[in-house]
Structure 1
Amino acid sequence: MNIFDRPKIDGHCHVLDPTRFPYPAEVPYHPHGQEIGTADYYKHVMDAYGTRHALLVGPNSGYGLDNRCLIDAIAQGGNRFKGIAVVHANISRQALKDLQVQGIVGVAFNTSLHGLDYYSDIDPLLGLLRDLDMWAQFQVSANQLEALWPRIQRKGVKTMIDHCGRPHLADGPNASGLQALWELADSGLGVIKISGFAKFSQTGFPFDDTHAHVMKTWNAFGPDRCMWASDWPHLRGTYRLDYGTLLKLMERWFTPAQLQAMMWDTPAKILGW
């Protein structure tokens, strides 16, 4: 089956519509130009490439804690979309339950952007997410997961890791952040997104330097806990990336059975489609 015809669930993408939902002034980075992707346009992208559902992630870039664009996209998408929101650490249980009703399945924590200290007070929130059966989604880089993993383990919250854990490849395969990643895999608490190669490659497309790590990640987490994602529309990207070329790369790296698992079976089960 051609990769474009294969039914897919995109496990990580963003929608930005600053015309309808202006960026808050206090958010320092405002995506523009080709970084902007409205929900209406993304649905055309989905139709072109056989993507039936998508997990929309609230972007720290542009919107920060403003989830209005995300919630609107989920509402207008029917059953096509679910979401990961960005929230205050002190959000109430009821406010989280209200977000659940609107299609939000978890909360994003971006230590790659904000650093570890920014999230020093999230343990009560992790407990709420556990109690409500919601996901804690972490975008870490280099060795940040080493500091987060004991907190995740202590709270027992189910965890999504973005973009293969974004290792610093120069640190080698025994880096402390990677050891934490493999411990998370062994724990059964975590799932991981096979995505974001541009965020840790040093050579650029077709990301040959990331291949060994991607395959080790696949083997550590297994087909039941890996899901593919596009990261569309590639915020803060330093060079052009396209949906189709990323899909063709997956077709080269993975077998049809593996693609079926990461692009449909696993995300459908994990996200309730």
Structure 2
Amino acid sequence: MTPFSGGEEPPRVTLPANACDCHMHVFDSAREPVASAVVTPPTATIADYKRLQARLGTTRHVLVQPSTYGTDNSLMLAALEVQRACARGVAVVDDSVSDNELRKMDEAGVVGIRFNQVQPGATSMTMLTTLASRVRELGWHIQLHLSSQQIIDYADRLLALNAPVVLDHYARVHHSTEIEDAVRADLWRLMRSGHVWLKLSAPYLSSHSNSPPYPDLAQTAGALVSDFPDRLVWGTDWPHATEASKPNDARLLDWFADVVPDVDTLNRILVDNPRNLYGFE
């Protein structure tokens, strides 16, 4: 059985060589979570994750530091070290991080820093401009997990940043019914800027439905693929830490592939865009 994933069947879609899962995490229940941690999952290892890769057909992946451990990136970095040729990392730091620490993470394969404001703790938006300037010198990006309302609140600040921006989880575009039109409008405004990317990950966090076919999100995703094929990447969000009932990753992958109109665009989102954004060979 694939750990932290429903079902056992492979996806219907055959993925291209070097397909990349751009959003996954590792956890260790023996490690103390930060006091503010909202999500404290059981142990989920790289060995567990490799079983999902074998099932889905991905070969590259991006390790994202979870809010569970705050700015202690050691578990993520240890997993990155053994996967260095086929993996990249996104760390969590605050404004006390030293230049030497950033350089060491850069050498280890870190290519960005994350601000999780949905499960806040280690970072705040007051740190955004200063940290963006510092990591821009390393060629890194800023990754943000924002609520629907925060997409609206911070859109102008993100447009003004002097660094590439990556938005998590479809920008939670349909999460709040009463503001979804405004979120969609600001998402398109951000994407048109040319320095904002979007992760097509965790559709269950951005739809009114709890499982495929996600009719609201399918329509929006199709429009995004049509308008911004060079600014989209895909991810599983394994081990689905927010979900008590784990989704079927093969079904989620097939749902995503059905949204994409042709093989060339699928290859772009799964291979070319991650290579450009994360610096894979």
TM over 0.5: yes
Contact 1:143 1:178 in 2 (8 A): no
Q: Which of 24, 27, 32 is 2:33 aligned to?
A: 24
- 1:208 is aligned to 2:222: no
Q: Which structure would you say has the larger RCO, counting Cα contacts within 8 Å and 6 or more residues apart?
A: 2
| 2:140 partner amino acid | M
Q: Which of 44, 50, 75 is 2:57 aligned to?
A: 50
- Where does residue 266 of structure 1 map in the other structure? 273
Q: Distance in 1 between matches of 2:208 and 2:189?
A: 26
Deviation digits for residues 8-64 of structure 1 (CA, Å, limit 9, x no counterpart) = 100111111234xx133524345334xx42012212321232111101100003x12
Q: Distance in 1 between matches of 2:131 and 2:114?
A: 11
Instruction: Tell me: CA distance 1:73–1:143, structure 2 relative to 1, closer, same or farther (3 Å).
Output: same
Contact 1:164 1:217 in 2 (8 A): no
Shift of 1:171: 2.9
Q: Distance in 1 between matches of 2:62 and 2:187?
A: 22
- Where does residue 146 of structure 1 map in the other structure? 152
CA RMSD of aligned residues (A): 2.2
Residues 69-88 of structure 1 mapped to structure 2, 5 A cutoff? 69-88=75-94
Contact 1:158 1:189 in 2 (8 A): yes
Stretch moving more, 52-61 or 194-203: 194-203
- 1:95 is aligned to 2:105: no
Classify the secondary structure of the residue corresponding to 1:215: helix
Shift of 1:173: 5.2
Classify the secondary structure of the residue corresponding to 1:248: helix
- Where does residue 240 of structure 1 map in the other structure? 246
- 1:6 is aligned to 2:16: yes
| 1:210 partner amino acid | L
Contact 1:193 1:226 in 2 (8 A): yes
- Where does residue 4 of structure 2 map in the other structure? none
Contact 2:37 2:119 in 1 (8 A): no
Contact 2:148 2:179 in 1 (8 A): no
Q: Distance in 2 between matches of 1:226 and 1:249?
A: 16
Classify the secondary structure of the residue corresponding to 1:180: helix
Deviation digits for residues 124-181 of structure 1 (CA, Å, limit 9, x no counterpart) = 1111122221110011121212332332333321011111111235135531x33332
* Structure 2 length-normalised TM: 0.86
- Where does residue 164 of structure 1 map in the other structure? 170
Instruction: Tell me: CA distance 1:265–1:112, structure 2 relative to 1, closer, same or farther (3 Å).
Output: same
Stretch moving more, 22-31 or 250-259: 22-31
Deviation digits for residues 45-93 of structure 1 (CA, Å, limit 9, x no counterpart) = 21232111101100003x1221111000010113121100011133233
Shift of 1:104: 0.6
* Structure 1 length-normalised TM: 0.88
Shift of 1:107: 0.3
Contact 2:38 2:119 in 1 (8 A): no
Deviation digits for residues 87-122 of structure 1 (CA, Å, limit 9, x no counterpart) = 11332333212211111100000122229x932233
- Where does residue 135 of structure 2 map in the other structure? 129
Q: Distance in 1 between matches of 2:48 and 2:244?
A: 22
Instruction: Tell me: CA distance 1:120–1:25, structure 2 relative to 1, closer, same or farther (3 Å).
Output: closer
